[in-house]
Amino acid sequence: MFVTFQKILPKHAASRLAGTLAESRVFFIKHILISLFCHFYPVKLEEAKKRKTEYKTFNDFFSRELAAEARKICSVICCPCDGTIADHGIIDKSLKISAKGHSFSINSLLAKDQIENLVGGSHLTIYLAPSDYHRVHMPANGKIKSATYVPGELFSVNPNTVSRIPGLYAKNERLIFHLETDFGYIAIVMVGAAIVGGIKPFWRVTPYEPREFKTEEINQNLNQGDELGLFQLGSTVIMLASKKLNFEFEENEKVLFGQSLN
């Protein structure tokens, strides 16, 4: 029933409405939204750079920065974000990965007919719960070559919905970073979701406009741990690596940005 409701719900209009409220600087609106959110979700305010009262809008609070000492970044390739492990494994010759019993092609996920040689490499999917830290970072030293924003649906990415909609991650809107790193080619995919206010990379002041496919050439060197982008609400991060990584995670295990992946 919930999935059927999502299919008929005007998700983009609902997300724009939610985004308008989340960007409100009216004190009582901002205060109520932040207070309700903290009441229903176990937000770790002690990890944040600012106090709860210092945020200008709900979006500002939701995409809050961490305090400098909140995460320790490992010396090898690291987890790009906080969240819960949804899936991981080796990329086989079919160039397909699975999600809750369904498979979808990496080509469709990356919106490219030809992709880097990922066969034998690794894939990792991390679900970000509402209470998680919602910024995404460089997993290793390297260069961001380009970024592609792909418009799409805004289905919820909770496990129940993912299990019921085949290829959901390749259907939802997403922002794809193409990276050259010390560990080879890596793609980081930020997947949008229901009521997501926007996906914003570090070089833009505002999120990408919905429904406008866009590729940008960046060619900028970044250090491990540098910020790539943030969710204003949402979602899921998928990491694809051309090299095999020795993941030792269990499904549903919690992970933190900076934690070793190898």
Active site residues: 82, 137, 235
| Orientation angle between helical segments 11-22 and 27-40, nearest 10 degrees | 110
* Tokens linked to 62: 């939701």
Q: Bridge partners of 228?
A: none
β-sheet bridge partners, residue 89: 123
Cα(first)–Cα(last) distance of the chain, in Å?
40
CA distance 237 to 172: 12
CA distance 239 to 228: 13
The length of the chain is: 262
String of b and e for 92-121 (b: at least 16 CB within 10 Å)?
eeebbbebbebebebeebbbeeebbebeeb
Query: CA triplet 113, 158, 87: central angle to 5 degrees?
Result: 60
29 Cβ neighbours under 8 A, 6+ residues apart? 21, 58
DSSP 3-state of 180:
strand
Residue pair 176/108 in contact by the 8 Å Cβ criterion: no
59 CB burial (10 A radius; 0-12, 13-18, 19+): buried
